Chains A and B, each alone.
Chain A
Amino acid sequence: MAEISMTVNGRKVTGTVEDRTLLVHFLRENQGLTGTHVGCDTSQCGACVVHLDGKAVKSCSMLAAQASGSDVLTIEGLAEGGELHPVQAAFKEHHGLQCGFCTPGMIMAAADMIRRHPQGLDEKTVRAELEGNICRCTGYHNIVKAVLAASEAMSGKAKAA
């Protein structure tokens, strides 16, 4: 068994898990954070994307023990004080989802993408950057619209601040 400790959504957490426990299972089963989804279990769909030390990673492709000592952000930690994060708000506004299963991973991927492109995003870049996230409902159009809108809203916010 592995004794692990990490910061999850700003909260220090510890746990004793089997060494083979995946990070996504630690988050869902030990922490009750079921917003992070397991879609394909073969590292392709991106439904399990979380931020590890500020960077988007697939939580189904790493052990919880590998993440010990790190700072983890899940979809549950994105909104601040009851107000949706701009990416969440944009997905709602632009209807960037249908069944919603891929949405947590999409939103975490989008937030990471926007962080890495402070100069702004265009449609081609967004589509290329979404390579690691699969949606079987929307055909991606409204997801792309939502990411572009969020990118704009966030750079506007940055300028105003």
Chain B
Amino acid sequence: MHQTTYHRASSLSEAVKLLNDADDGKYVAGGQTLIPTMKQRLAAPSDLVDLRHIADLKGIEISGDKVKIGAAATHAEVAEDKALAKACPAISHLATHIGDPHVRHMGTIGGSIANNDPAADYPAALLALNATVHTNKREISADDFFVDLFETALEDDEIITAVSFTLPEKAGYAKFPNPASRYALTGVFVAKRADGVRAAVTGAGENGVFRADPIEQALASSFDASALDGITIPADSLMTDIHASAEYRANLVAVMAKRAVQAANG
């Protein structure tokens, strides 16, 4: 790892100041991507500003049909929250299957979406749930937040404070994990509401997470896995890498979408 200078912020304003005073600083939350990336010298920030101890970023609140998850909530905290598991089991299920137990004790929802890894789980959930990303400056819809591979709408010194969404009627998530990394080779999150169905795909798109129109249309009339029988997902804008071809992923999108709908229908 290259040299870096560590700072611990106790408030959002302190964190912003520390970052703006740095030459080439980066925020760190759980660090489960950033620290390994720095070890490989693929990232070399001059300064790290630790957000893990800022009280404002913690907590999971459910009031009525609104859910708000603090950006510093770890995957384990999301997975273990009993009220959330009752209100939206799909998101608990998703959090339970990120990485491994040790990673889940450190990694945070805010860190995951800020990184926007094209194979991360949370981006699919946020996009399908039509979630809002709250920052220290504004609110950003998930539609606008996820821009491209590892790219979001965040400005350099902007900090995610929470994510919020309205509870859907039903939701489900299914992923085909890469057996070594547990990242999604393809993952599909479906959410059904009175005004329609949103289905978001992670792990497969060349430009990161995306909504799958053919799946949304097929499920709009009948929210049942059988509505997806024989569906074809175009492989055009899907990823090909050492793990799977675009065509293989296209098939996985349909298979995972079916499983997600089955999970949603319990």
B103 within 8 A of partner (CB): yes
Give the interface centre of A20, A44, A60, A112 by most chain B CB atoms within 10 Å: A20
Interface of chain A: mostly helix, strand, loop or mixed: mixed
Are the CB atoms of A49 and B102 closer together than 8 Å?
yes
Residues of B within 8 A of A20 (CB): 1-4, 38
B249 within 8 A of partner (CB): no
Residue of A nearest to B177 (CB): A131
Interface membership of chain B positions 89-105, coded 1 if the CB is closer than 8 angstroms to chain A and 0 otherwise: 00000000001111101
Q: Which of A42, A43, A132 contacts B101 (CB 8 A)?
A: A132
Residues of A within 8 A of B38 (CB): 20
Q: A44-B180, A63-B35, A66-B52 are in contact. Are A58 and B102 (CB under 8 A)?
A: yes
Residues of A within 8 A of B102 (CB): 46, 49, 56-58, 109, 132
Residues of B within 8 A of A113 (CB): 101
A129 within 8 A of partner (CB): yes
B117 within 8 A of partner (CB): no
Q: Which of B6, B76, B99, B181 contacts A55 (CB 8 A)?
A: B76
Q: How far is the CB of A59 from chain B (nearest CB, A)?
A: 9
Residues of B within 8 A of A68 (CB): 8
Are the CB atoms of B5 and A19 closer together than 8 Å?
yes
Q: Which of A41, A42, A62, A112 contacts B106 (CB 8 A)?
A: A62
Which residues in chain A, 1-58, are within 8 Å of chain B measured between CB atoms? Answer: 2, 18-20, 22, 41-44, 46, 49, 52, 55-58
Are the CB atoms of B101 and A61 closer together than 8 Å?
no
Q: A41-B39, A46-B100, A131-B100 are in contact. Are A57 and B3 (CB under 8 A)?
A: no
Complex Cα–Cα for A118 and B226 (A): 40
Complex Cα–Cα for A129 and B79 (A): 14
Which residues in chain B, 215-232, are within 8 Å of chain A measured between CB atoms? Answer: none
Residue of A nearest to B2 (CB): A20
Are the CB atoms of B39 and A132 closer together than 8 Å?
no
Q: Which of A66, A116, A133 contacts B6 (CB 8 A)?
A: A66
A65 within 8 A of partner (CB): yes
Complex Cα–Cα for A52 and B180 (A): 25
Mark B residues whose CB is within 8 Å of A: 1-6, 8, 28, 31-32, 35-36, 38-40, 48, 50, 52, 76, 99-103, 105-106, 180-182
